[in-house]
C-alpha cells in the first residue's frame, strides 16, 4: 500500500533539526561568503594556483573549520561516524564517498581500492550505511579509459594495468555483493564514459540478478543519454537483470562545452537547462514505470524533480520506502529535500565525502562554485539557512 504524503520542502525546522545552533550559524556564514561571486572566483583561483605549486597545507588549514566542516564527513571513516550516526537518527542514511580525486599511480590505485574495501566493510557493520560510492578513475588510469572509449588498442603494459584494475573492481563488487552493500559508480567526462558503461553492465550481469548491487550513473545533461538509458533497460529486461542507475543532471558542463569548442566537435550537452530538465524528468518517468527490473537513485537538488518522483510513485501506488527507489543529495546541501523526504518515509541518503582535507580540495572548490550567486541573488541554500536562523531567533555575533 502506498502511503504518499504531500511533501513540503519549505519546512526548515525539519530540514535543519540535526544541526546545532553553532553549526547552523557557521553554515549560514559559510554560505553567505560563497554567495559572493568575486570572493569565490578569487578564492578558488588562488587555491588552485597554490595547489599547482604544491602549497596545500595553508589551503587545507583555511578549509578545515569552514567549507570542509560544512561539506565533508571527516578525515577518515572513524572521524565521520559522529555525522553518520546523527543523520541516521533522522532516518537519513549515508553514502560513503572516499573523496580523493585525480590520482594516477599504482600506489594511488591500491590506496583507493583499500579505502573502498574498508568502506564496504564499514557499511556491513552499520545500518546507517548500505551504499558505497566509487569513481573508476580512482582505480584505472584516465589515459587507458580514453583509449578504450575511442576503441584504440592498448599497449601490452597498458593492457596489464587494465586487467589488474578490472580484477580489483570485480573483487570489490564481489565483496559488496557478499555483504549486501550497493556500489555506485560515478559518471565523469563523456570522453571516457563508454568503457565505464561497458564495465558497469558486465558487473550488473554478474551481480544484479536478484538485487541492485551495481549502480551506473546517467548524466541527463547529455543529449544522447535518455535513449541510451531506455535501450540499456530494455537490454537488461532481456538479460533478466535489474538495471540500477543513479540519475543526475551532470557536473562537468563547462568542461564538456569548452573541450567541444576547442576540438571542433558538436557539444554533447543539451541546448539549454530546460532540455536537461525535461530529459531528467522523462528518465524518472521511464524508470519508475519499469521499476520491477530497474532500480534508481534520484540524485538531485532539484525540488521539482524530487517532487515528481514522489508523485509518480504515488500514481503507481508504490510504497514510499520502495527497495528500488532511493533519493540522495550531497552532504551540506538541500537538507530541505533530504530531511523532509526522510520524514515522509522515503529512502533518503546523503552523499558523504571523507578523506584528508588536502585531497578533497577539488571537491570543495566545485561545491563553492556551485553555490555562488548567479546574478547577485541569494542562493536557495542561503535563503533556507536564513529562514531557520530567524525561526530559532539566533543572534549572529560576527
**Residue of 79, 142, 77, 80 whose CA lies nearest to 115:** 77
What lies within 8 Å, CB to CB, of 337 at 6+ separation is: 9, 301, 303, 306, 327, 329
Q: Is 375 in the site for ligand FAD (CB under 6 A)?
A: no
8 Å CB contact between 141 and 196: no
What lies within 8 Å, CB to CB, of 322 at 6+ separation is: 291, 313, 347
8 Å CB contact between 316 and 289: yes
Nearer to ligand FAD by Cβ, of 176 and 247: the residue is: 247
C-alpha distance from residue 391 to each of 15, 175, 394 (Å): 12, 46, 8
Q: Is 132 in the site for ligand FAD (CB under 6 A)?
A: no
Of the candidate residues 269, 295, 296, 385, the single one contacting ligand FAD (CB under 6 A): 269
Of the candidate residues 103, 147, 249, 367, the single one contacting ligand FAD (CB under 6 A): 249
Binding residues with ligand FAD: total (CB under 6 A): 24
Q: Minimum distance from CB of 253 to ligand FAD (Å)?
A: 5
Of the candidate residues 299, 309, 365, 368, the single one contacting ligand FAD (CB under 6 A): 299
Q: Is 137 in the site for ligand FAD (CB under 6 A)?
A: no
What lies within 8 Å, CB to CB, of 291 at 6+ separation is: 316, 318, 322, 324, 325
Of the candidate residues 130, 182, 300, 340, the single one contacting ligand FAD (CB under 6 A): 300
Of the candidate residues 35, 91, 218, 270, the single one contacting ligand FAD (CB under 6 A): 270
Q: What binding mask, one character per residue, do residues 320-339 give for ligand FAD by CB under 6 A, x or -?
A: --------xxx---------
Q: Is 221 in the site for ligand FAD (CB under 6 A)?
A: yes
Q: Is 241 in the site for ligand FAD (CB under 6 A)?
A: no
Of the candidate residues 351, 354, 357, 371, the single one contacting ligand FAD (CB under 6 A): 351
Nearer to ligand FAD by Cβ, of 96 and 248: the residue is: 248
How many Cα atoms occupy the beta-carbon half-sphere of 385 within 13 Å? 25
Q: Is 149 in the site for ligand FAD (CB under 6 A)?
A: no
> Alpha-carbon distance 324 to 123, whole Å?
18
> Alpha-carbon distance 271 to 278, whole Å?
12
Residues at the site binding ligand FAD, with contacts judged by CB under 6 A:
186-187, 217, 219, 221, 248-253, 269-270, 272-273, 276, 299-302, 328-330, 351
Amino acid at each position: 500500500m502506498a502511503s504518499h504524503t504531500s511533501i513540503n520542502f519549505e519546512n526548515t525546522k525539519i530540514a535543519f533539526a540535526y544541526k546545532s545552533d553553532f553549526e547552523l550559524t557557521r553554515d549560514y556564514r559559510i554560505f553567505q561568503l560563497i554567495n559572493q561571486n568575486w570572493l569565490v572566483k578569487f578564492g578558488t583561483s588562488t587555491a588552485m594556483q597554490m595547489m599547482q605549486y604544491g602549497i596545500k597545507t595553508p589551503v587545507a588549514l583555511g578549509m578545515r573549520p569552514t567549507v570542509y566542516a560544512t561539506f565533508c564527513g571527516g578525515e577518515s571513516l572513524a572521524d565521520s561516524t559522529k555525522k553518520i550516526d546523527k543523520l541516521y537518527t533522522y532516518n537519513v542514511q549515508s553514502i560513503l564517498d572516499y573523496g580523493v580525486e585525480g590520482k594516477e599511480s599504482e600506489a594511488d590505485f591500491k590506496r583507493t581500492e583499500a579505502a573502498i574495501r574498508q568502506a564496504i566493510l564499514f557499511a556491513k557493520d552499520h545500518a546507517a550505511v548500505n551504499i558505497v560510492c566509487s569513481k573508476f578513475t580512482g582505480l584505472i588510469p584516465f589515459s587507458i579509459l580514453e583509449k578504450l572509449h575511442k576503441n584504440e588498442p592498448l599497449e601490452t603494459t597498458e593492457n596489464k594495468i587494465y586487467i589488474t584494475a578490472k580484477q580489483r573492481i570485480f573483487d570489490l563488487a564481489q565483496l559488496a555483493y557478499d555483504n549486501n552493500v550497493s556500489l555506485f559508480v560515478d559518471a565523469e567526462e563523456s570522453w571516457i564514459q563508454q568503457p565505464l558503461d561497458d564495465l558497469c553492465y558486465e558487473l550488473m550481469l554478474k551481480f544484479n540478478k536478484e538485487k541492485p548491487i551495481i549502480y551506473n550513473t546517467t548524466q541527463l545533461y547529455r543529449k544522447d543519454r535518455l535513449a541510451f538509458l531506455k535501450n540499456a533497460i530494455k537490454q537488461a529486461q532481456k538479460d533478466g537483470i535489474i538495471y540500477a542507475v543513479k540519475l543526475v543532471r551532470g557536473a562537468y558542463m563547462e568542461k564538456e562545452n569548452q573541450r567541444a569548442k576547442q576540438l571542433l566537435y558538436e557539444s554533447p550537452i543539451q541546448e539549454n537547462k530546460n532540455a536537461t530538465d525535461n530529459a531528467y524528468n522523462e528518465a524518472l518517468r521511464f524508470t519508475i514505470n519499469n521499476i520491477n527490473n530497474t532500480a534508481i537513485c534520484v540524485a538531485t537538488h532539484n525540488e521539482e524533480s524530487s517532487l515528481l518522483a514522489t508523485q509518480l510513485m504515488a500514481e503507481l501506488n508504490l510504497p514510499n520506502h520502495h527497495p528500488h527507489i532511493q533519493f540522495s543529495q550531497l552532504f551540506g546541501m538541500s537538507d530541505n529535500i533530504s530531511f523532509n523526504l526522510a520524514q515522509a518515509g522515503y529512502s533518503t541518503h546523503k552523499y558523504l565525502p571523507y578523506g584528508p582535507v588536502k585531497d578533497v580540495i577539488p571537491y570543495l572548490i566545485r561545491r563553492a562554485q556551485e553555490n555562488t550567486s548567479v546574478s547577485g541573488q541569494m542562493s536557495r541554500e542561503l535563503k533556507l539557512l536564513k529562514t531557520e536562523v530567524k525561526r530559532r531567533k539566533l543572534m549572529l555575533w560576527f
